[in-house]
Amino acid sequence: MTYEEAEKYVHSLSRFSSYPGLDRMRCLLGKLGNPQKKLKYIHVAGTNGKGSVTTLCANILQRAGYRTGLYISPYVTEFRERFQINGQMIGQKDFARLLEKIIPYAEEMKMQGDGINEFECNTALAFLYFAEQKCDVVCLEVGLGGRCDSTNIIDTALVSVITAISLDHTKVLGDTVAQIAHEKAGIIKATTSVVTYPKQDDDVLAVILEECAKKNSSLIMPNIGGLHITNADIFGSDFCYGNQCYHIGLVGKHQVYNCLMVLEVMQILTQMGYVIPREAMLDGISQTKFPARFEVISSKPLIVIDGAHNYSGMKALAQTIKELRCFPKVAVIGMLADKDYTEAVKLISPLCKQICTVPIDNPRSLSPQQLKNTIQPYCQEVTAYSSREEALQMALEKLEEEDTMLICGSLYLAGEMRLAVLQK
């Protein structure tokens, strides 16, 4: 099997299965020898910030000398971004070889009427890869929810992390933040340490506390009273916390809050006996770059790509734009129809002088015209484009050296446009 054939097979699987739960993963992994039982995990759930927290943890542990697996989703530019060890993506040959181990069992389960979905396949492959490569720690990001997510097949975790929770995927997870928190808190295991976002909604925090009490697990929340941000710009933030000072390369106050959770995770691991030198912390935090998270592609003119795609993400993006005073002269926005785009665009649109709405190469894409109609009450100059390339070209032609251009609304769009901008 070639890599191209392997990736095509994975994408041919359904996005969702007929019913939620871990039965399919339990069955599949049992046939594969339960590779997930051979590993230790930092397990990360939440609505926003999961990828940043997971990646920061992995980068620090790698620099501390631990062989570190990283499983994240979705990818931005390359499918194999999802599976990394010490910052290196899985090789094409390894991916195809490991998938060949999964396919016979996947097809057998399909014939029995209980076929696995795409994310379950990816997660099983990740477990196989990390176990085969003898990772010391795996930084494991939840795909959707937590309680019934395929990553939650693990028996225990070194630390469980629950990042910022807000409304998203409401048709699957529930239409209140408390219901969504209930699903996310499902990753909490018995007698483990749990770290959560320092500014959680009260209803969310109540659910997490209740779940911790049930599982006899301890909850740690960073104390933002001890946080002092000394500088913030398009290259990140300088801050002091716990009598130590740091520079984070990820942009925005929300990323500083995410980093506080990571610092608490490292403190817990240190208490467990892991050796994490201060240099590993400083370097891991400052050197972490994450595509499409307020990613600066160019500084003159300032071109920013951000995968914000829900209310919470757009709120953080809008706050960062205001704090840094980099208001877009032109923004290119595309969103998925199954997101709460109506509320999300209210936050970002008034900050932009001109907006181009574009389609996303995804069957769930919102039409540019419908997105334009939604945005128009908040921005005077809005144009719908059927071509992303045409919109990008127009936007770039309008920019002077001191101007700002923003591309946002979806990680799918961010991935497509990122490559296009870099090729200009």
- CATH code for position 342: 3.90.190.20
Are 282 and 299 members of one domain? Answer: no
**Quick check: 340 and 310 in contact, CB under 8 A?**
yes
Question: Percentage of the chain with pLDDT > 70?
Answer: 98
Q: Is the pLDDT of residue 45 over 70?
A: yes
Are 209 and 249 members of one domain? Answer: yes
* pLDDT one-digit tens code per residue, 178-216: 999 999 999 999 999 999 999 999 999 999 999 999 999
**Quick check: 266 and 260 in contact, CB under 8 A?**
no
Res 172: pLDDT? 57
Are 137 and 263 members of one domain? Answer: yes
Are 279 and 339 members of one domain? Answer: no
Res 310: pLDDT? 87
Angle in degrees, CA 288, 311, 175, rounded to 5: 120
Res 350: pLDDT? 97
Look at residues 287, 320, 342 and tell me which one is the last residue of a structural domain. Answer: 287
Res 423: pLDDT? 81
Q: Is the pLDDT of residue 292 over 80?
A: yes
CA gap 211, 25 in Å, rounded: 23
244-248 vs 295-299, strand pairing mode:
unpaired
68-71 vs 83-85, strand pairing mode:
antiparallel
Phi and psi torsions of 340, nearest 5° = -80, 70
Res 178: pLDDT? 92
Res 419: pLDDT? 86
Following DSSP, what letter does each residue of 247-315 receive, concatenated? EESS-SHHHHHHHHHHHHHHHHHHHHT----HHHHHHHHHH---TTSSEEEEETTEEEE----SHHHHH
Are 146 and 198 members of one domain? Answer: yes
Look at residues 258, 287, 316 and tell me which one is the last residue of a structural domain. Answer: 287
Q: Is the pLDDT of residue 170 over 70?
A: no
Look at residues 225, 253, 287 and tell me which one is the last residue of a structural domain. Answer: 287
CA gap 84, 126 in Å, rounded: 9
Residue 366 pLDDT class (50, 70, 90 cuts): very high
> Rounded mean pLDDT of 294-321?
93
Res 232: pLDDT? 97
Are 135 and 255 members of one domain? Answer: yes
- Least confident among 109-118, 120-129, 170-179, 272-281: 170-179
Residue 154's Cβ-side half-sphere holds a number of Cα atoms within 13 Å equal to 30
**Quick check: 210 and 217 in contact, CB under 8 A?**
no
* pLDDT one-digit tens code per residue, 386-408: 999 999 999 999 999 999 999 99
Res 5: pLDDT? 98
272 lies in which domain range?
Answer: 3-287
Give the number of domains in the chain. Answer: 2
Are 66 and 114 members of one domain? Answer: yes
Are 261 and 313 members of one domain? Answer: no
Are 254 and 325 members of one domain? Answer: no
Are 240 and 307 members of one domain? Answer: no
Are 283 and 304 members of one domain? Answer: no
Residue 175 pLDDT class (50, 70, 90 cuts): low
Q: Is the pLDDT of residue 28 over 80?
A: yes
Q: Which residue has the higher pLDDT, 177 or 286?
A: 286
Residue-averaged pLDDT of the chain? 95
Residue 174 pLDDT class (50, 70, 90 cuts): low
Res 255: pLDDT? 97
Are 276 and 307 members of one domain? Answer: no
User: The domain spanning residue 213 has which CATH number?
Assistant: 3.40.1190.10
Res 46: pLDDT? 95
**Diameter of the chain by CA atoms?**
61
Residue 173 pLDDT class (50, 70, 90 cuts): low
Residue 339 pLDDT class (50, 70, 90 cuts): confident
Angle in degrees, CA 245, 271, 278, rounded to 5: 30
What percentage of the chain's residues is helix, strand, coil (to nearest 5)? 50, 20, 35
Q: Is the pLDDT of residue 171 over 80?
A: no
